Structure 1
Amino acid sequence: VCLFVFVLQKRKLPLDRMSAYNRTAFHPSVFVLAGFPGLEEYYLHFSILFCVLYLLAVTCNLALLCIIKADHNLHEPMYIFLSILATVDLVLSSTTFPKLLAILWFGDSTITFEGCFVQMSFAHFFTAMESTILVVMAFDRYVAICKPLHYTAIFTNSFIVKLGTVSVLRSAVLSLPQYMYSSQLSFCSSNVIPHYYCDHTTTLSIACADITINKIFSILLTMLISGTDITLIFFSYLLILRAVFKLGSARARWKTFSTCVSHFCVILYFYTAVLFSIFTKRFGNIPSEYNILVASSYVLIPPALNPIIYGIRTKEIRQAFLRHMNSRARVSSVIPNPSS
């Protein structure tokens, strides 16, 4: 499907339409990111909120990666997938938000033509990658809870490597072809992108080309990734909850239930924000500034919450952190003080 639509996008335009485009088309060396058009008076508040969320995302995900790497007890499939999710969250949030903070604080709203499409490719590739990893983690939890006796037989090292490879290839095949096509377009009369980063749909809206096929492909892509993934995650957690309610201990049922609900709420917010942002751009009458705010939330709020929901609330992660802190305290107490 990807290759078929990609070929359709490369079709030649009629001569009269080509001449009409060529009269106004140009190839900008830079784009201007408009940030949040109409909400300039709130830039200071936005900058504080986004800075706190970004620092939280970076700090928590880095801490989670360090804990998993340092503790050999955590070198298991569940925590390997969690470390992949933390890495994806780090890249996803860092792809867009440093530039956003530069816009809010310093008014630095320009981005090079090449940098724009690199940012676009990274943002959408890692969004697709996050969705894929969430499916893998839901499957991991389903096997661990519903089929515990088969867990070690299923999640072997070779199977984990295959899952990681398939995740990367799937994200690349489903997200990169349309951005390769987009970078070949010419643009009309303006190089101002009404967004705080080079979002695919918003950037193409100022292109001198017929982007109907591209819009159709983008909608199909969204449904293929988000629709399929959220369905698989939903049924995985449904089966998990059915197994949880069969547990004999009420305390165990409540603990597992609360953990699954918190996981699913973060996942549901991610997909809801993605779908809302994409479909309101095409079919809704939502003011653009609010659409941009929603778009900013799904690339920052889940990366900030994931290490807390999946990490701090996990008993093994907390124990590994305490062991690490205790070992550092013992080492510091053994090292003599130079002043003495």
Structure 2
Amino acid sequence: MSGLNQSNFRVQEFVLFGFPGLQDKESKNILLAVFLAVYSLILLGNVLIIVILLLDEGLYIPMYLLILNLAILDIAISSITVPKLLTALMFNDNIISFAGCFIIMSVVKITTSEGRSKAFSTCGTHLLVICVFFLLAVFIILSYRIPGVSADARIMVSVLQSVIPSLANPIIYCLRSKEIRESFGKTLKKIQILPGGF
């Protein structure tokens, strides 16, 4: 009898509803333009970081190898969601396969107080980005209990949750790291984009 109650049904695909209140063509075109620009900046910034770190052997130290891995991870994470969002907005293709979903997690452990202090001073802005990521997650969870929060707002916040860190990390590393800024200047000088020093 228990054999009759079992099913071999397996989830093969999901239907993405997108932004329920923004289904008109004009809204979709605005969202498409915004997310295409953001995704392009994410790719440009992170690829730039990767190229700089790979070309300058003076930056082959653990901290910059971690930044290299983070840039690769930022490209991977944003490439999971944003291209599918762009496809859905452009072609109304709102189906995603079950195999198209996965999660990437990375954990770094620092054991010495000196190392923690240096990491905090070096990566304080990155920690701010992480806090924003988790605050957005908390908002999404709590928004179901707040009357008047639209599905569009929840969806927009969840998309921003995956996009903001990937967009902010290249800016943070370029602005906070003197070595990367100097290497970037040398690289531009080598390929004759900049005439003098940077």
When normalised by structure 2's length, the TM-score is: 0.80
Partner of 1:290: 153
Q: Which runs of 5+ in 2 are unaligned?
A: 194-198
Superposition pairs of residues 197-216 of structure 1, within 5 angstroms: none
Cα distance in 2 between the residues matched to 1:304 and 1:140: 29
SS of the aligned residue for 2:192 comes to: helix
Alignment equivalent of 2:129, drawn from 244, 262, 266: 266
Which residue of 2 is the match for residue 304 of structure 1? 167
Q: Distance in 2 between matches of 1:299 and 1:141?
A: 31
Tell me how far apart the structure 1 counterparts of residues 31 and 44 of structure 2 sit (CA, whole Å).
20
Gaps of 5+ in 1: 1-14, 148-235, 241-255, 331-340
Task: Tell me which residue corresponds to 1:34.
Answer: 17
The equivalent residue for 2:142 is 280
* Alignment pair present for 1:56 and 2:41: yes
- Measure, in 2, the Cα distance between the counterparts of 1:68 and 1:38: 43
User: In the TM superposition, what are the counterparts of 1:171-182 in structure 2 within 5 Å?
Assistant: none
**One-letter amino acid of the counterpart of residue 297, structure 1:** L
The equivalent position to 1:68 in structure 2, one of 41, 53, 58, is 53
Q: Which portions of structure 1, spanning 4 or more consecutive aligned residues, are displaced by more than 6 angstroms?
A: none
Structure showing greater radius of gyration is 1
Question: What amino acid is aligned across from residue 80 of structure 1 in structure 2?
Answer: L
Mapped to 1, the partners of 2:161 and 2:150 lie a distance apart of 18
Separation in structure 2 between the aligned mates of residue 70 and residue 80 of structure 1, nearest angstrom = 12
Report if aligned partners of 1:96, 1:119 keep a CA contact under 8 Å in 2: no
CA positional deviation for 1:108: 1.3
Q: Distance in 2 between matches of 1:288 and 1:324?
A: 45
Cα 1:108–1:146 change in 2 (3 A) is closer
The share of aligned pairs that are identical, in percent, is 29
Letter in 2 for 1:306: N
Contact 1:38 1:289 in 2 (8 A): yes
Query: How far apart, in 2, do the equivalents of 1:57 and 1:106 lie?
Result: 22
- Please provide the CA RMSD for this pair: 3.1
